[in-house]
Amino acid sequence: MKEFVLGNYDVAVVGAGHAGCEAALACARTGMKTAILTLNLDSIAFMACNPSIGGTAKGHLVREIDALGGEMGINADKTALQIKMLNAGKGAAVQSLRCQSDKNAYHARMKNVLEHTENLRIIQGEAREVRTENGAVTAVVTTYGGVINCRAAILATGVYLNARTITGDVTAESGPNGFAPATELTKNLIELGFCVRRFKTGTPARVHFSSLDLSKFSVQYGEDNVGPFSFISPAPPENKLPCYLGYTNGRTHEIILSNLDRSPLYNGTIESTGPRYCPSIETKVVRFADKERHQIFIEPEGIDNLEAYVQGMSSSMPHDVQLEMYHSVSGMENAEIMRFAYAIEYDCIDSLDLYPTLEFKKVSGLYTAGQINGTSGYEEAAAQGLMAGLNASLKLRNLPPLVLGRDEAYIGVLIDDLVTKGTEEPYRMMTSRAEYRIELRQDNADFRLTQKGRDAGLVTDERYNAYLARLSEARRAIKELEIRDLTPDMTADILEKHGFERAASAVSRADLVRRGIPLDEIKGQFGGVGYSRSVCESAEIYIRYEGYLKKNRQQIARAKKLEDRLLPPDADYECIDGLRLEAREKLNKVRPLSIGQASRISGVNPADISVLMVWLSLRERRN
């Protein structure tokens, strides 16, 4: 095939899903001449599965992406159908924003942003090869022979690599939603030294809204008193459409169980690994046989169409079984299926082959992000894309990389888990994965990360000035709340109402917050603290959890000592006496950068870390 040059670029991004979009924007906005290659312009930022952004822990990721200068939060705010705060009755650490998104509007707006971004060119085509020379990236080549010369490449291929959809006994070489798969790149990845494997995910049916009896469902409205995702959005999204809650029943489960021999998950057709935390309805019915019903949500896909997403009923059953199964649900007796459910298998890599920057260890300038790294979820993908794009740009600008610690961001937890522990199934971010989650709240994402994004060159003046103003106001608010100007007579009623004894002396509003009294109630009775809702929220959370935060930061300081003990890149762990065989194998594979990272590797125990500490001390003395 005759080759031809498509252009000379600093960075080539392969894939324009949620990871690819953030990667390309991060590169272009930091001055890198960037090309983004997508199989289909109509699949840019496409929501192949659930049409929503955020959720438990995922909302934290969106806020962090926004704080660093990314686009997902802004796009979610501008294209939301409804928004609400999950876990509002629990502690601040696990509260997360979630919005129902307009699928078509989300795609269209993100495509428009890419099209109007300086330094960024969009190209429709399929990547065939990442070309290298002397162990470094030199070009990305398309299946038509187009050569995109570049100094770095970011692979954000989603679920498209050798993708095949599976429904019953019917399989098709296809990407999600009928888009074409990418069939040429995997061979090249293996040649470059990647360990390639197969994962699986799936999606439920889409049904026609007018064919549902919505009176048999519980209406789920959005909330008005929650903030937006983006710290620079002027107001939360308008709640335009509700969702609906329903349940499967005994008849639904009977249909599934009587047809398990036709299920690709149980008859051997699907052999790849699926997501543990987003199982199909077949898996839920089998795994939780004692459950009489399972929740399902009917969710709108857009303001301009009548497609409804049936969350909670992902399936790979044959079409005739799907019809019977969906029709067994109360309110869906006459449901018209517009798009049937399916499972999809795809190629991905072993993320242990990556540095914490998401750069491939065997090829300089080659980064991977998103589902190719074994993760699931739009938010996880976007977070990786942003970090891969930033680190590629920083490397090309001869600046230090940006690696976020587990104590600094959920993004840090996500990437550290991938490159240190690896994943044997599609990885999903959860609050329980973050040991310092009380520090990593969504309300303080800008306080934690915006300066880092500014230092990396991605945060704009508008965003940075908004951050500085909010930080200054939060500090002033905390200072004002600590003023002890409320006499015992003034606070007697409110303390008695909440079950506390009369104060012996003057107290501050902060003292009342520490007793668990809501700040809104305190302001309503005593006035003062005339700041925005988001500033008051951050101040209230900080005061309420101040004691826990101090203890948490002591733990972080102790852990940081291990992170600061760097391991030499040329260490031969096979030659270190005292290490167990499994530890030697794992250490040589992961090549940890520090004692702290080594301590988190599966298969490396505390005794092995002690051996490493002694060995490192002896080495340092010798040097």
Model pLDDT for residues 305-318, shown as the tens digit of each residue: 999 999 999 999 99
480 and 598, same domain (yes or no): no
Nearest to 176 by CA among 155, 154, 202, 199: 202
CATH (domain of 596): 1.10.150.570
537 and 575, same domain (yes or no): no
331 and 234, same domain (yes or no): yes
pLDDT of residue 277: 82
- Mean pLDDT is lowest, of 35-44, 269-278, 596-605, for 269-278
Residue type (1 letter), 472: S
- The band of 530, judged by pLDDT with boundaries at 50, 70 and 90, is confident
pTM of this structure: 0.95
Residue type (1 letter), 494: I
pLDDT of residue 438: 94
In a domain, 512, yes or no: yes
- The band of 600, judged by pLDDT with boundaries at 50, 70 and 90, is very high
Q: How many domains does the chain have?
A: 3
Structure tokens at 113: 């942003």
Consecutive H or E run containing 25: helix 18-29
Mean per-residue pLDDT of the chain: 96
521 and 603, same domain (yes or no): no
Residue 511: pLDDT over 90: yes
112-150 as b/e: b if 16+ CB within 10 A: ebbeebebbbbbebbbbbbbbeeeebebbbbeeebbbbb
Per DSSP, which regions of 454-612 are E strands? none
- The band of 275, judged by pLDDT with boundaries at 50, 70 and 90, is confident
Structure tokens at 238: 């308008």
pLDDT of residue 622: 86
In a domain, 424, yes or no: no
Residue 272: pLDDT over 90: no
- Mean pLDDT is lowest, of 148-162, 237-251, 556-570, for 556-570
Please tell me whether residue 248 adopts helix, strand or coil conformation: coil
Of 492, 524, 549, which closes a domain?
Answer: 549
CATH (domain of 541): 1.10.10.1800
In a domain, 16, yes or no: no
- Mean pLDDT is lowest, of 68-72, 159-163, 603-607, for 603-607
533 and 611, same domain (yes or no): no
pLDDT of residue 90: 92
602 and 510, same domain (yes or no): no
**Strands 152-155, 146-149: parallel, antiparallel or unpaired by DSSP?**
unpaired
264 and 235, same domain (yes or no): yes
- The band of 350, judged by pLDDT with boundaries at 50, 70 and 90, is very high
- Mean pLDDT is lowest, of 254-258, 569-573, 596-600, for 569-573
pLDDT, tens digit, for every residue of 93-129? Answer: 999 999 999 999 999 999 999 999 999 999 999 999 9
Of 490, 524, 549, which closes a domain?
Answer: 549
In a domain, 468, yes or no: yes
* Residue 204 contacts residue 315 (beta carbons within 8 Å): yes
225 and 325, same domain (yes or no): yes
597 and 535, same domain (yes or no): no
Q: What is the CA radius of gyration of the chain?
A: 26
Residue 404: pLDDT over 90: yes
pLDDT of residue 389: 98
| Residue 572 lies in domain | 565-622
Residues 6+ apart with CB under 8 A from 119: 27, 28, 29, 31, 32, 33, 34
Residue 76: pLDDT over 90: yes
pLDDT, tens digit, for every residue of 420-437? Answer: 999 999 999 999 999 999
CB atoms within 10 A of CB 102: 24
pLDDT, tens digit, for every residue of 372-388? Answer: 999 999 999 999 999 99
Give whole-number Cα distances, 448 to 381, 445, 465, in Å: 21, 5, 15
Q: What percent of the chain has pLDDT over 70?
A: 100
Structure tokens at 395: 């490397």
In a domain, 189, yes or no: no
Of 518, 549, 580, which closes a domain?
Answer: 549
Residue 273: pLDDT over 90: no
Give whole-number Cα distances, 106 to 62, 299, 385, 478, in Å: 15, 16, 17, 37
pLDDT of residue 225: 85
CATH (domain of 253): 2.40.30.260
In a domain, 288, yes or no: yes
483 and 579, same domain (yes or no): no
* Residue 480 contacts residue 531 (beta carbons within 8 Å): no
Alpha carbon distance 594, 603 (integer Å): 16
In a domain, 195, yes or no: no
Helices assigned H by DSSP within 69-184: 72-78, 103-115
474 and 526, same domain (yes or no): yes
pLDDT of residue 471: 97
* Residue 252 contacts residue 331 (beta carbons within 8 Å): no
Residue 274: pLDDT over 90: no
In a domain, 299, yes or no: yes
Residue 51: pLDDT over 90: yes
577 and 500, same domain (yes or no): no
pLDDT of residue 333: 98
* Residue 106 contacts residue 66 (beta carbons within 8 Å): no
